[in-house]
Amino acid sequence: MALYYLDFKVISRSKSATTITAKAAYRSGEKIHDTTNGETYDYTRKKGVYGCEILTPDTAPGWASNRSELWNAVERKEDQSTRRNTAQLAREMLLALPTELDHDQKQTLVREYVQTHFVKRGMIADIAYHDFDSHNPHAHVLLTMREITADGFGTKNRTWNNKKLISEWREEWANHVNRDLEQAGYSERVDHRSLKEQGIDRVPQIHLGPVVCEMERNGVRTDVGDTYRAIANENRRRAQRNTVVQQQHASAELILSTQADGDTQQASDERSLIEQWQQYKELEPERDKPQETSVWEEIKSWGVTDRTIDVLKTYTGHQATQERDRRLDIAMRSTVPPDTSATVEQLYCTGLKQRLSDKGRGYYRVADRWLLTERLARRGVSKNQARRILAESSPEIMEQHPNQRVMFIRRLVDKVYNRETQRQQSEAILNRQSQAAAQLETSTTAQAPPVKPGQGAAFGKYSTFEVRHTLGQEYTPPYRPFYDPANENLVLDNPNHTETNIAELDADLVAAIKQAARQSPNSRLRINQAHRIRQKTDAETEQQAGSHAMAKREYAKELSRQAEAYGETAVLKPETDVDITAKLRIAGFSFNAINRAVIERSPIAASLPSTEHQSKYLELLVMPTLRSSYVRQAKEKKRQELQQRGQEHEYRLDRLGLATDVSKNREPRKQQRRGPRR
């Protein structure tokens, strides 16, 4: 079914953290080296890219047809401008293509439309065709913002930003689509006008996106999903009402026609007509009154005013900018009262004023997290009060899309308050540890330094003092018999653990991690899984493509080799993860792929009690080594060796010479017997 979708967006440095070269490489699925920052963006393994091309005007030089040279020239030109930090780099256009057309017809449709309305005006168009074999074929078009001559880029053409011109482009895209559908013999048509302009009584539906769809499929209820369902219910109600109205009109016309012929209408028919009319009145809701969804009913429970709800629901574009500036002005004019008499609004506004004065006016985009933590959560302000003050006073909220504002408020407040709760629990644990250490110090004859609050780590009920004391006597602490489920936490986020090298960490922390891994059944399962993956052939394992799947596969193989060479118990330590991840980084895997491999394949990560501990484990023990100069130099050296051999991509550790040598192992690993001997 043909659908109309055309979206324009300006890519600027003030609103995007990535460069235009990275965006062009991602959309085209190519490899581009950015000469301005020295980074190389390689998306040659990206799936779904059907093809790409560059259309240039007659005045453009030859290098403009080269994607890398084109967008590097755009970056260099904007670096020379006076507003380089807020420069607008390109205009992006997203086009939904009709599924009725074949692939060549889709490309011809986009090519003719872009050539006629953009390239002829002097723009350079970089077109990327995506997902032609799916239900959502579309095209990304990156358009330059400056005039192009044989000497290069000139001044920006401001006439291209005219809103009337954008309306004309939208209408012309509908005309091009309808023309090609008619030529292909299809009756479907698209319309660029809104539903209201077309006279259709239906509420416009929102776009869920892949992230929300995946969350809903997994049973996670989202605000966007609630809004989508509310709109769908409203449209079904309107369709049912319109059906009844059409039946009433048909019945009325029938009555008039029969009376005009002189026939008498039967009483039963009149009663039927009255019953239908009553049914219609019962189905008809209060006219011109918007129905509230569950999301906005929840907002009312926060104590938010009706004006604030209207602002969150409807303000976009210039209205949202004005509201953001109004909130910033209120914060800058606020005064600082004594903390004992300050209201929640005064605490928030004065805190925002302090941060903006210290960091600059643009700091409002990241100030809410600090304000919630320092000004609200730690002073006993409830969650609903924090949500209300964000909805009514936060400038950062107005930067969000209306469909995302409620979800943004809810997630931010929940995350900050959960972290504050964990901090309070950690302080309580440390206080108990210090008290236990003081009692242990007075009751033992061993001379050991006392444990201060906030010092060391903990596993279960045991403090670092107890672990170090018992390890010094070569005695394994009995963690499991005295394990307290209420304190099921391995404290890795202690502020005193600022070291980044495993050898420099406290021995008790590493000992606690090893103890958890050796006692956890999950770690043994991970090792057995690694052995099974290693035993598979390359043809079987390479069916799963993608950098994340390859990283997990190579991690499992190397873990199996080290377990065979050194023993399964010997690999249950953090040093194993550091060694394997360093090899993966040298082989060219990204940080995200390595992190995913550790979380899903590491026996150490499997033994940790929660995902928060896994994240902190990666942050403290794994990532510092991957970012070290040694690993970076080794990675560059390995890349140069591959280039000398004429190979661009090789990620298998055994072929790169990075795999552990198991040929010297004295005896091969015995196969585990899975059942009774028959």
pLDDT tens digits, residue range 138-154?
999 999 999 998 889 99
Tokens at residue 190, please? 């698209």
CA distance 144 to 159: 13
How confident is residue 543, by pLDDT bands cut at 50, 70 and 90? low
Share of the chain above pLDDT 70, in %: 76
Q: Are 457 and 492 in contact (CB under 8 A)?
A: yes
CA distance 30 to 113: 24
Pairing of strands 88-96, 138-144: antiparallel
Residue 264 has pLDDT above 60, yes or no: no
Q: Burial code of 393-406, b = ≥16 C-beta within 10 A, e = fewer?
A: bbbbbbbbebbebb
How confident is residue 67, by pLDDT bands cut at 50, 70 and 90? very high
What pLDDT is recorded for position 446? 43
CA distance 156 to 160: 9
Mean pLDDT for all residues in the chain:
76
- The residue ranking higher by pLDDT, 189 or 613, is 189
Lowest mean pLDDT across 102-106, 126-130, 168-172, 466-470: 466-470
Q: Which helix (H) or strand (E) holds 492?
A: none
Domain ranges of the chain: 6-193, 227-260, 297-399, 423-511, 520-656
pLDDT tens digits, residue range 562-589?
898 888 888 888 888 888 988 888 888 8
Residue 234 has pLDDT above 90, yes or no: no
Q: Enumerate residues 6+ apart whose C-beta is below 8 A from 204.
A: 194, 195, 231
Helix or strand or coil: residue 127?
strand
CA distance 664 to 496: 42
- The residue ranking higher by pLDDT, 43 or 283, is 43
Phi-psi region of 574 (alpha: psi -120 to 50; beta: other; left: phi over 0): alpha
- The residue ranking higher by pLDDT, 508 or 158, is 158
pTM above 0.85, yes or no: no
How confident is residue 398, by pLDDT bands cut at 50, 70 and 90? confident
Pairing of strands 88-96, 125-130: unpaired
Fold of 6-193: BirA Bifunctional Protein; domain 2 (3.30.930)
| pLDDT, mean of residues 668-675 | 46
What pLDDT is recorded for position 444? 46
DSSP 24: H
What pLDDT is recorded for position 90? 93
Q: Are 584 and 555 in contact (CB under 8 A)?
A: yes
Q: Are 529 and 467 in contact (CB under 8 A)?
A: no
What's CA 357's distance to the chain center, in Å?
31
Q: At 90, phi and psi to the nearest 5?
A: -160, 165
